């Protein structure tokens, strides 16, 4: 994409009256097992929240049907933590027990499902903003997307590191729901990242064994952030 911030509308999308938060938590390899735990005990965003742990291949339309969600009547917020490819959010590629199942991936969401929503997407997935973000920007109206247009890295440690990611996820989701313009959304989320970087500043390297790597990965995420309101 040529611009990290794109918008056709300066105001937040119109509400359908019903709002539901879907926490997409694929869990099939070391990274997704780590990121899926970040969505556990997710703070209240003011709407019903469903933690959807995804351990076998499933697509977005099937998940909606499984949860009895009618996208024509319900405004969906999708917060997805997993692998990503430029055109799609990725899920498990095979049933547990299948040879090399941990290394396989499948498409959970791509432009085939744009007609189903969701209204808001927070994609903590590598590279998905490149093509999927472009499709949302060009082919939909009234959608908000926050994601990354490059590969991103993670310090897969618990404690302060996991707590930091949780603050970023929750703060970004809250900002996505509250921001009235794309520019205020970008400002809010960038401030969240700057606060995270401050908590792992070089002055605290003696406190954090992985502080230097954490700063590098947070900076990479900050640089790769893409904000779209179609």
Spatial distance between the Cα atoms of 124 and 181, rounded to a whole number of angstroms: 21
Q: For the purposes of burial, counting CB atoms within 10 Å of the CB of 182, is it exposed (0-12), middle (13-18) or buried (19 or more)? A: buried
Q: Pairing mode, if any, of strands 5-7 and 225-229?
A: parallel
Per-residue pLDDT of 36-58, as tens digits, reads: 999 999 999 999 999 999 999 99
Q: Is 131 exposed, middle or buried (0-12, 13-18, 19+ CB in 10 A)?
A: middle
Query: Strands 84-85 and 5-7: what pairing?
Result: unpaired
Cα–Cα distance measured from residue 65 to residue 217, given in angstroms and rounded to the nearest whole number: 36
What is the rounded end-to-end Cα distance, in angstroms, of the chain?
14
- CATH number of the domain enclosing 48: 3.40.50
The structural domain count of the chain equals 1
Range(s) of the domain holding residue 70? 5-229
What is the rounded CA–CA span in Å between residue 101 and residue 119? 32
**In this predicted structure, what is the pLDDT of residue 11?**
43
Query: What is the residue-level pLDDT of the chain in tens, covering all 230 positions?
Result: 333 554 434 444 445 569 999 999 999 999 999 999 999 999 999 999 999 999 999 999 999 999 999 999 999 999 999 999 999 999 999 888 888 889 899 999 999 999 999 999 999 999 999 999 999 999 999 999 999 999 999 999 999 999 999 999 999 999 999 999 999 999 999 999 999 999 999 999 899 999 999 999 999 999 999 999 99
């Amino acid at each position: 994409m040529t611009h990290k911030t794109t918008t056709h509308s300066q105001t937040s999308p119109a509400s359908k009256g019903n709002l539901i938060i879907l926490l997409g938590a694929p869990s099939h390899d070391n990274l997704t097992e780590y990121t899926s735990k970040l969505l556990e005990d997710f703070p209240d965003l003011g709407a019903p929240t469903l933690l959807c742990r995804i351990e076998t291949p499933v697509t977005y339309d099937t998940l909606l049907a499984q949860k009895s969600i009618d996208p024509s009547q319900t405004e969906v917020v999708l917060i997805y933590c997993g692998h990503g490819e430029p055109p799609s959010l990725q899920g498990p590629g095979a049933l547990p027990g299948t040879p090399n199942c941990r290394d396989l991936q499948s498409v959970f969401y791509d432009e085939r499902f744009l007609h189903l929503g969701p209204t808001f997407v927070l994609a903590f997935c590598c590279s998905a903003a490149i093509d999927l973000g472009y499709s949302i920007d060009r082919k939909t109206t009234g959608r908000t997307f926050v994601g990354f247009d490059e590969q991103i890295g993670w310090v897969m440690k618990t404690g302060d590191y996991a707590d930091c990611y949780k603050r970023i996820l929750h703060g970004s989701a809250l900002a996505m729901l509250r921001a009235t313009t794309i520019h205020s959304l970008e400002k809010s989320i960038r401030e969240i990242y700057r606060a995270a970087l401050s908590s792992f500043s070089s002055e605290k390297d003696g406190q954090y064994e992985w502080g230097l790597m954490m700063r590098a990965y947070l900076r990479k995420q900050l640089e790769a952030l893409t904000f779209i309101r179609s």
